[in-house]
């Protein structure tokens, strides 16, 4: 059972690597950094799907646009509230 958990963790780390946060620590900054890393990871997947012909350019654009809106909303809620 433990081996399965380790394999799942290894797979998750490979597919969605996370970097440490080195900026000024606040819970909001840490959460926004996690959101930013997820944005970058998902953007990479969308670009790969479009490049390999799995989705159209228009579909990739719409997905990226939606991700960008989510990141902007995250910034508004987490970082602009500090000011």
User: 17 vs 3, 11, 52, 58, 70, CA distance in Å?
Assistant: 20, 10, 22, 27, 20
Question: How many domains does the chain fold into?
Answer: 1
- Count each helix (H run) and each strand (E run) in the chain, helices first: 3, 0
- Does residue 41 lie in a domain region? yes
Which has more confidence, 13 or 64?
Answer: 64
Structural domain boundaries enclosing 37: 26-83
- Does residue 56 lie in a domain region? yes
Q: What is the pLDDT of residue 11?
A: 62
* Mean of per-residue pLDDT scores for the chain: 88
- Does residue 47 lie in a domain region? yes
Q: What is the pLDDT of residue 63?
A: 98
């Amino acid at each position: 059972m433990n081996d399965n958990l380790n394999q799942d963790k290894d797979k998750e780390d490979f597919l969605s690597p996370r970097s440490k946060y080195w900026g000024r620590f606040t819970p909001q900054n840490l959460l926004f950094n996690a959101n930013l890393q997820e944005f970058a990871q998902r953007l990479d997947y969308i670009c790969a799907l479009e490049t390999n012909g799995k989705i159209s350019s228009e579909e990739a654009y719409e997905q990226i646009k939606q991700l960008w809106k989510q990141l902007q909303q995250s910034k508004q809620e987490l970082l602009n509230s500090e000011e």
